[in-house]
Amino acid sequence: MNEALRIILPVYLLAFFLVAFLWRSYLVWKRTGVNPYAVGRGNKPVDFIEHIYPFPMILILLTTLAYCVSPLAYEYAVPITWLDHVSIQIAGLILMGFALVWTTMAQMQMGNAWRIGIDAENRTELVEKGLFGVSRNPIFLGMRVALFGFFLALPNAMTLVSAALADVLMQIQVRIEEEFLTGQHGDKYAEFCGQVRRWI
């Protein structure tokens, strides 16, 4: 299983980045002329949160690189050996695959409203259908599931810290975004919140 993971994990990270972020952002830009990357355009608390987001991802990338290239270096990630079982790793991979499909579908359903960060300059439509009828934040939910699955597939202190830090950041981010959407859509968004749960 370890040899398979050394191929699957880096391929998955690349696929998640390309499909879930780069490709969708390119499509929105191509269709609207609007840059969907809205991170760090202001001087508010959300900008600080958004700038921290890369750190858990960088930590996961470095841990994966160490696992794939140097078993000796990977020991510094502090593997959690009692979780290192094939059945747990398979469960993690299943969650990761589900999360990628789920996140991609949610982004497709967002259409031209897709943004990375809060875009206060360009008003977007409120998306309420599809996966957004199940969760107010299906993309963040997909990311949370993906990170948890990644931890199960490669259980160590670094992937655990990465998943925990990213989860805290997402919990803060969605609440800031909800405040922004309330200001943008008013009663319509308040009604949406009353009908659909934050996560699921």
Average pLDDT of the segment spanning 40-52: 67
Residue with the bigger pLDDT between 51 and 97: it is 97
- Whats the size of the chain, residue-wise? 200
Rounded to two decimals, the pTM is: 0.89
Average pLDDT, the chain: 89
**Overall domain count for the chain:** 1
Among 183, 194, 64, which Cα is nearest to 120's?
183
What was the pLDDT predicted at 49?
Answer: 73
Give me the domain span that covers residue 84: 2-195
The per-residue pLDDT for range 166-193, each reduced to its tens digit, is 999 999 889 988 998 998 888 899 999 9
200 lies in some domain? no
Q: For position 122, which CATH number holds?
A: 1.20.120.1630
Coil, strand or helix at 134: coil
What was the pLDDT predicted at 130?
Answer: 93
What was the pLDDT predicted at 41?
Answer: 57
